[in-house]
């Protein structure tokens, strides 16, 4: 982001600060960054209440406890911070916003990886998973992750590193590959027949209802990840093959806009799965889920 903070440079390295100064903020880049601004503000308006609702659901214990709750809660805190930072962005477009955005971007991505690895271990390697089921392991992992990412965010906010682009792209691709592989493995495992599936009678071949709901949940999360992260994973490695004006004026802001959409899509899926959306009623007394009805 050096192009956007330094008015006297003509470098083509990626901007470390999303600030629109008079040198670079011209008609060529107007559309791309206007779309990014609109998407970020829309995400802030919709995503903040969704993530706050996720935190309330977890803190009140409205759901059965899960080993992924700590990762989901951490991600909700980060996404809420991202939504608030979009409001601060209109006030301070330099250090404060970019300090927050780097924390949210990396910690959010790491929380997604940790959450999917937790589900992957529970389904694919259940024996190993039971050895590390205690919450202290997840608390320690989250604490280490926050310390590392706070340090990295401070470094990115106050210092210049020549290989910021390469570092970001490499880590992003690694995280994207891990998330994709784990989700595909989960979907294949949940699709296979196993204990609890009907093997005979008129319902032969029908999948266990719990496995079916888990399959749909993983599929929904995976679709959101592909939709939000695939443009960045596909286009950022090609940065040096694309003209700088095209990359930084169009591809760069649009990829960040896609990544921002995850901030409200993922908590929306979580609230839908646990039936905590305002338009949905809780499960009926017989244990069957009632359909989604308007609040009125």
Please name the residues in contact with 205: beta carbons below 8 A apart, sequence gap of 6 or more: 193, 197, 198
| DSSP type of residue 196 | T
H or E stretch at 232: helix 209-235
Give residue 142's pLDDT.
83
Q: Report the distance separating Cα 234 and Cα 46, nearest Å.
A: 27
What pLDDT is attached to residue 160?
Answer: 65
Give the CATH architecture of domain 2-194+205-273: Up-down Bundle (1.20)
Q: Tokens for 90?
A: 């209109």
pLDDT attached to residue 110 = 81
Q: What pLDDT shows up at residue 37?
A: 82
Residue 119 has what pLDDT? Answer: 87
pLDDT averaged over 10-residue windows placed end to end, the chain, 296 residues: 39 45 57 83 89 90 77 86 75 55 71 86 86 83 81 69 73 90 90 60 59 81 89 89 87 88 88 79 48 38
Per DSSP, the three-state class of 277 is: coil
Give the burial string for 242-258 (b: 16+ CB within 10 Å, else e). Answer: eebeebbbbbbbbbbbb
The region that residue 210 occupies, defined by phi over 0 for left and psi between -120 and 50 for alpha, beta otherwise, is alpha
SS3 292: strand
pTM, entire model: 0.76
Q: Provide Rg for the chain, Cα atoms.
A: 21
Left (φ > 0), alpha (ψ -120 to 50) or beta: where does 201 sit?
A: left
**Per-domain residue ranges of the chain:** 2-194+205-273
CB 177, CB 232: distance < 8 Å: no
């Amino acid at each position: 982001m050096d192009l956007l903070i330094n008015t006297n440079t003509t470098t083509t390295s990626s901007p470390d600060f999303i600030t629109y100064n008079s040198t670079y903020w011209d008609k060529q880049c107007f559309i791309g960054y206007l779309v990014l601004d609109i998407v970020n503000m829309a995400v802030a308006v919709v995503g903040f209440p969704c993530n706050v609702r996720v935190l309330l659901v977890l803190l009140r214990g409205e759901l059965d406890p899960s080993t992924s709750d700590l990762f989901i809660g951490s991600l909700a805190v980060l996404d809420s911070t991202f939504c608030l930072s979009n409001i601060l962005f209109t006030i301070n477009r330099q250090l404060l916003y970019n300090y927050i955005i780097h924390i949210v971007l990396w910690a959010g991505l790491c929380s997604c990886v940790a959450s999917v690895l937790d589900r992957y271990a529970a389904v694919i390697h259940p024996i190993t998973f039971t050895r590390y089921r205690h919450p202290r392991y997840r608390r320690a992992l989250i604490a280490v992750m926050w310390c590392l990412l706070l340090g990295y965010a401070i470094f990115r906010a106050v210092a210049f590193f020549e290989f910021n682009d390469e570092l970001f792209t490499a880590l992003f691709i690694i995280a994207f590959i891990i998330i994709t592989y784990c989700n595909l493995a989960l979907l294949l495992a949940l699709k296979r027949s196993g204990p609890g599936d009907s093997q005979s009678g008129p319902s032969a071949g029908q999948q266990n209802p719990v496995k079916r709901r888990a399959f749909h949940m993983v599929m929904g999360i995976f679709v959101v990840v592909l939709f939000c992260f695939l443009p960045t994973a596909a286009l950022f490695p090609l940065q040096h093959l694309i003209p700088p004006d095209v990359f930084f004026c169009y591809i760069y802001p649009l990829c960040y806009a896609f990544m921002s959409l995850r901030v409200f899509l993922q908590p929306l899926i979580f609230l839908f799965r646990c039936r905590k959306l305002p338009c949905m009623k809780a499960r009926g007394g017989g244990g069957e889920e009632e359909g989604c009805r308007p609040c009125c």
